[in-house]
Amino acid sequence: MPARPERVFTALVTPDELAQWWGPAGFTSPSIELDPRVGGSYRITMQPPAGDVFHLAGEFVAVDPPNRLSYTFRWEEPTPDDRETVVTLTLQEVDGSTNVILDQGVFATDERLALHTQGWTDGFERLYELVASWRTV
């Protein structure tokens, strides 16, 4: 990401900024509630381009700005193959930019892993675009 870890971390824990990049391409996040502290909770409402809203929620298990953010991840309307996972985002500064390392798992099926992989890929592309836009403002 073309910004320092402190700035990228802010985009991970600020509802207005998170709403600009969270989720797969075409999705929006019309409601985000965050309490980014260990033991704090979050809830994200996601809206696909076509279809009903759905929600994910969890609790923060590590909040170490600007280096690491970790939280549980569970769908409120799970499919039978969904299970709660733990997401860990590690931010590493490299020459004034930030590498974001994602770890999430374990998934019940390859299909659920593929779904999450695509969602994170799209979301990180949107995050990159957001971060890049800060340099032109």
CATH number, domain with residue 79:
3.30.530.20
Structural domain of 79: 5-134
Question: Cα-flanking dihedrals φ and ψ of residue 30, to 5°?
Answer: -70, -15
d(C-alpha 109, C-alpha 96), whole Å: 38
Instruction: End-to-end CA distance of the chain: give it in Å, rounded.
Output: 16
d(C-alpha 131, C-alpha 54), whole Å: 26
Domain total for the chain? 1
- pTM of the prediction? 0.93
| Predicted confidence (pLDDT) per residue in 78-89, tens digit | 888 999 999 999
| Predicted confidence (pLDDT) per residue in 90-127, tens digit | 999 999 899 999 999 899 999 999 999 999 999 999 99
| Predicted confidence (pLDDT) per residue in 57-81, tens digit | 999 999 999 999 999 999 998 888 9
